């Protein structure tokens, strides 16, 4: 909106006669002054700050930007692959700020701590004045006789759950640093099993629910081996969620009712459980007497739980981080975030959660700007993130070939380490990754099925994990054409140009087998490509056949059905049985093909194989659920299928053999006799 429109009209929109009448020096001076005022006001009201958002939040961000204009807030969305790339964009001044969590701040601190500042926190309305998101405490029965932290040995212990902060990572980190827990250096065991063994040896019984390993067979073995860690649970044989003796409140219930002697939880739940006031909430009645319990401090002293706590560590609040380049604009950024907070909440906008990572139970609070590293150190949280029990530290090395793969692997390594993936991942670049894994220069390599056949047969490798596509361990290969084209059957594709991934890919052999089985080509050409050119006029090799089709380079593309998930509706399938179908139609394909696989050397020890499998599987499980944190599947630096297929939705452990791979191996053997 133009400010002072009546003055603007007078200075700018007068006709020739009026301009003559308005040409006195006074009038000219008046207009110059007005225009200067206009420029100043216009510039001030049109400052645009750039917020970086992960790809999955871009649409929501655009909605926020449009709605924000109604309250005079001018923003621009800077899309990024994920939060990790957002950190890089803020550092490079391509964006002014982003919303993130302490683990993301750790990545920023490792990248370039001096280039960032945390300037606003996302706190809860329950505890708007609390310094930290939560504070980890140990709670005991008041009359427990204990004179040192070593006195915890042999007691019964109640935990929130495996892998969680206050009930697992914090006590393990702090007790290990105190020299109380351990040793945790058995190189014949994985880092997770070292921790479980240490806890099982230190405490007589416990309740520690959850998934102890992302690999089901390993999870079952660990729970059988260290069964005493499940004895205080509501369902010891299950030792998993839901369990009334798990979680923040459940750990206290385990202490009060299930025979526990020490509970690891956070301060706010102590107050809730025992009916004490906290934050903005008044006291409520509780069946438990707060005077019967005490905080156990790290120096083994006790404090009444009705008074100030003694904490073991704290988890910082999530918040907003800017480039230090934008320090002069922090006042405006804070005001804008506060306005967006109120707007999103009052209108129940979905973008408040997707873009700002807030909800109706939180609010944005100003803080003294601080570097991400100092923000973590203040809460004694950095060493909790860096918890790594084995010395020398072990890593799982992934071998990659290209520079782009290496860049993605390094980004994955940083992201996974901040999120407690152990052993940590590492990246090796080689022109021949199969040989590197065979010679134990790396533990893992991701291979297409056809390459995997040679790796298994001639290089002593075996499949460990496979890509999944909407929870399926195999893919349906489909024929895709543009809408409006005349082809109505596979036979109609004769003489057309086909977009295919390069020779040797599973899709290539799937098409070849289909045409042979249906006698559309003869089995008399070697190499196989000659057989296909008997049917198609040309083969257009492409890493992304759908893009090849849409750009007009080919008339048909053969791709896995899952690769079309979320694609625009300007393409259709040609079904093997004839006719056209939409891209979400299952059962239309020409063949079933196996997935990409993660392979390892057959000669590794069982613990090395378990570590390699568990680390990458844990990362895949996390990032398939939360692609905003790190986009494991999808374009990377504008390239498709980097390390993993764009259309994969997760990874799965291979128990013994993968049926679709075994079937495919037989197919390739059959087609090898093409002469």
Among candidates 505, 639, 482, which has minimal Cα distance to 554?
A: 482
167 is in an annotated binding site: yes
Among candidates 351, 408, 321, 412, which has minimal Cα distance to 89?
A: 321
Among candidates 57, 91, 62, which has minimal Cα distance to 75?
A: 62
Burial class of 650 by CB neighbour count within 10 A (0 to 12, 13 to 18, 19+):
buried
* Contacting residues for 600 by C-beta, under 8 A, at least 6 apart: 437, 443, 444, 445, 461, 462, 464, 609, 612, 613
- Cβ–Cβ under 8 Å, residues 463 and 609: no
Q: Check residue 282 and report its DSSP letter.
A: P
Pairing of strands 262-266, 156-158: parallel
160 is in an annotated binding site: yes
Backbone angles phi, psi at 233, to 5 degrees: -75, 160
Taking every pair of C-alpha atoms in the chain, what is the biggest distance, in angstroms? Answer: 99
- Cβ–Cβ under 8 Å, residues 296 and 82: no
Provide the b/e sequence for 619-644 (b: ≥16 CB within 10 Å): bbbbbeebbbbbbbbbebeeebbbbb
CA distance 178 to 581: 65
Among candidates 185, 183, 172, which has minimal Cα distance to 392?
A: 185
134 is in an annotated binding site: yes
Among candidates 563, 596, 566, 593, which has minimal Cα distance to 480?
A: 563
Structure-block tokens of residue 479: 């024929």
* Contacting residues for 212 by C-beta, under 8 A, at least 6 apart: 162, 192, 196, 218, 219, 222, 223
One-character DSSP codes across 614-662: HHHHHHHHHHHH-TTT---SS-BTTBSSSSS-TT--EEEE-SS--HHHH
CA distance 594 to 648: 12
448 is in an annotated binding site: yes
Edge-to-edge strands, sheet with 116-124: 75-80, 49-54, 97-100, 319-323, 116-124, 362-370
Structure-block tokens of residue 407: 């860049």
In sequence order, the β-bridge partners of residue 572 are 481
Burial class of 348 by CB neighbour count within 10 A (0 to 12, 13 to 18, 19+):
exposed
* Cβ neighbours of 377 (radius 10 Å): 15
In sequence order, the β-bridge partners of residue 631 are none
Pairing of strands 475-482, 571-574: antiparallel
Backbone angles phi, psi at 322, to 5 degrees: -120, 165
| Residue positions forming the annotated binding site for hydrogencarbonate | 160, 164, 167
| Residue positions forming the annotated binding site for Fe(3+) | 134, 248, 448
| Residue positions forming the annotated binding site | 134, 160, 164, 167, 248, 448
């Amino acid at each position: 909106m133009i400010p002072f429109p009546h003055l603007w009209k007078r200075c700018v929109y007068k006709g020739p006669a009026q301009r003559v009448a308005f040409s006195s020096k006074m009038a000219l001076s008046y207009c110059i002054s007005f225009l200067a005022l206009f420029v100043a006001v216009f510039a001030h009201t049109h400052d645009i700050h750039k917020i970086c958002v992960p790809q999955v939040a871009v649409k929501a961000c655009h909605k926020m930007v449009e709605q924000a204009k109604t309250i005079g807030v001018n923003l621009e969305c800077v899309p990024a692959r994920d939060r990790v790339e957002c950190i890089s964009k803020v550092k490079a001044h391509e964006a002014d700020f982003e919303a993130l969590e302490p683990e993301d701040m750790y990545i920023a601190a490792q990248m370039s701590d001096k280039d960032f500042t945390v300037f606003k926190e996302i706190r809860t309305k329950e505890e708007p004045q609390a310094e930290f998101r939560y504070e980890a405490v140990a709670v005991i029965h008041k009359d427990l006789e204990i004179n040192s932290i070593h006195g915890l040995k042999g007691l019964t212990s109640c935990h929130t759950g495996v892998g969680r902060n206050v009930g697992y990572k914090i006590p393990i980190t702090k007790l290990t640093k105190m020299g109380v827990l351990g040793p945790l250096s058995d190189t014949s065991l994985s880092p997770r099993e070292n921790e479980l063994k240490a806890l099982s040896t230190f405490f007589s019984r416990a309740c520690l629910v959850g998934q102890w390993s992302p690999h089901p067979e390993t999870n079952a073995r660990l729970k059988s081996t260290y069964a005493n860690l499940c004895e205080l649970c509501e369902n010891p044989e299950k030792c998993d969620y839901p369990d009334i003796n798990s979680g923040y409140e459940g750990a206290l219930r385990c202490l009060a009712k299930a025979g526990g002697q020490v509970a690891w939880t956070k301060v706010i739940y102590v107050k809730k459980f025992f009916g004490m006031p906290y934050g903005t909430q008044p006291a409520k009645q509780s069946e438990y007497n707060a005077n019967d319990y005490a905080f156990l401090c790290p120096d083994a002293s006790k404090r009444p739980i009705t008074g100030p706590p003694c904490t073991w560590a704290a988890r910082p609040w999530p918040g907003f981080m800017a480039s230090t380049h934008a320090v002069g604009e922090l006042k405006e950024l804070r005001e804008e975030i506060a306005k967006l907070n109120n707007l999103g909440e009052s209108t129940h906008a979905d973008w408040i959660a997707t873009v700002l990572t807030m909800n109706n139970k939180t609010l944005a609070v100003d803080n003294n700007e601080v570097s991400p590293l100092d923000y973590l150190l203040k809460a004694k949280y950095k060493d909790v993130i860096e918890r790594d029990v084995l010395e020398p530290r072990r890593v799982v090395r992934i071998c990659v070939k290209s520079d782009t793969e290496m860049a993605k692997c390094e980004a994955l390594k940083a992201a996974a380490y901040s999120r407690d993936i152990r052993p940590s991942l590492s990246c090796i670049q080689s022109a021949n990754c199969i040989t590197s894994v065979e010679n134990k220069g790396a533990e893992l390599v991701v291979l297409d099925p056809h390459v995997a056949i040679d790796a298994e047969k001639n290089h002593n490798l075996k499949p460990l994990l496979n890509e999944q596509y909407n929870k399926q361990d195999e893919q349906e290969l489909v024929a895709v054409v543009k809408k409006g084209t005349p082809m109505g059957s596979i036979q109609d594709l004769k003489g057309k140009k086909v977009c295919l991934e390069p020779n040797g890919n599973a899709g290539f052999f799937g098409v070849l087998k289909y045409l042979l089985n249906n006698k559309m080509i003869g089995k008399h050409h070697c190499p196989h490509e000659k057989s296909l050119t008997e049917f198609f006029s040309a083969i257009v090799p492409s890493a992304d056949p759908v893009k090849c089709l849409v750009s007009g380079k080919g008339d048909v593309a053969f791709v896995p059905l899952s690769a079309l998930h979320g694609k625009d509706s300007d393409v259709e399938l040609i079904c093997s049985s004839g006719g056209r179908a939409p891209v979400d139609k299952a059962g239309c394909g020409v063949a079933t093909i196996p997935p990409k696989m993660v392979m390892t050397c057959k000669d590794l020890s069982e613990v090395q194989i378990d570590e390699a499998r568990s680390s990458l599987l844990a990362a895949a499980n996390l990032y398939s659920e939360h692609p905003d944190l790190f986009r494991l599947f999808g374009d990377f630096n504008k390239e498709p299928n980097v390390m993993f297929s764009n259309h994969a939705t997760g990874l799965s452990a291979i128990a013994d053999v993968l049926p679709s791979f075994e079937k495919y191996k037989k197919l390739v053997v059959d087609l090898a006799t093409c002469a």
